[in-house]
Chains A and B, each alone.
Chain A
Amino acid sequence: GAVVSQHPSRVICKSGTSVKIECRSLDFQATTMFWYRQFPKQSLMLMATSNEGSKATYEQGVEKDKFLINHASLTLSTLTVTSAHPEDSSFYICSASTTGGQDQPQHFGDGTRLSIL
C-alpha cells in the first residue's frame, strides 16, 4: 500500500521551457502533498505544501510564480516549473500523506530528474 507515482522520471529540455511534473497517490487519498527539491549530496529541501482544493503554501525563498502547484483532486498534484533555466536543474520529489499531520508518514514518489540545457 501507499504507492505514489511521479512522472516523468527524467526531463531534459532547453532553457526557457516550462516543465510539468505529476504526482499521483495510487491507492490512497492524499489530503496533503509535499514538493521537495534535492541537489547532489544535499538533504531534501521542502519547496511547498499543497492541500487538495487550496492554494499551496510555499517555503521562504521559493518563487510561487515560477513553481506553480495545483492540487485539484485527492490523488493528483502537479508542479510546473515555468521558464526553466539551468539553475533549476535538480531532483524534484513529491510526497503524499493522508492527513498531512504528524500522525501519518509521507510516502514519496520516485522523483523527477530535471536537466535544463
Chain B
Amino acid sequence: QKEVEQNSGPLSVPEGAIASLNCTYSDRGSQSFFWYRQYSGKSPELIMFIYSNGDKEDGRFTAQLNKASQYVSLLIRDSQPSDSATYLCAAWAGNNRKLIWGLGTSLAVNP
C-alpha cells in the first residue's frame, strides 16, 4: 500500500515565524511531489512541486526533498494569518499514474 503521511496538527505558529510542514512517503519509485493548500470549504490550490533532491524556493515558500530518507517538507517564512489552512502533501505514483495524498496538516498562524 503506497502511503503519504503527514502530522495532522494543528501546528500553531506566531505571525512572522517560520512554519515547517513535513511529509514522508513509502513508494521509493515516486519521483515528483506536490504541496497544496486548502482553506476550509474550498478546493486545493497548488503551492509548489519538486522533483529533485534539495531545496526549491518560491517567494516565502521553500520545498525540500530528500529521496534517500523519503521525506518532503515545506517551509513558510514570515507566516501570515492568511496562511492558516490545511496543507496537503502528494506524491506521484508512477505505476498507477495518480497522486497519493496525505491527510493534510492543519496550520494556524496566530496574530
Which residues of A are interface residues toward B (Cβ below 8 A)?
Answer: 2, 6, 34, 42-44, 46, 49, 93, 100-103, 105-111
Contact = CB atoms under 8 A, between A and B. Distances in A.
A6 B44 CA distance: 13
Given A43-B101, A43-B104, A49-B97, A103 B46 contact: no
A44 B36 CA distance: 11
13 contacts: A34-B99, A43-B88, A44-B44, A46-B99, A102-B31, A102-B92, A103-B51, A105-B46, A108-B36, A108-B43, A108-B45, A109-B43, A110-B43
A46 B44 CA distance: 13
B98 A49 contact: yes
Given A103-B51, A105-B49, A108-B45, 12 more contacts: A6-B43, A43-B88, A44-B44, A46-B98, A46-B99, A49-B98, A102-B32, A103-B32, A105-B34, A106-B99, A107-B46, A111-B42
Interface of B: 31-32, 34, 36, 42-46, 49, 51, 88, 92, 94, 97-99, 101-104
Contacts of B45: 108
A100 B97 contact: yes
Contact of A111 (B43, B46, B92): B43
Contacts of B99: 34, 46, 106
Give me the 7 closest cross-chain CB pairs, A-B, nearest first: A102-B92, A111-B43, A102-B32, A108-B43, A43-B103, A93-B43, A105-B49
Contacts of A2: 46
A49 B42 CA distance: 21
A117 to B, nearest CB: 20
B44 A101 contact: no
A103 B52 CA distance: 12
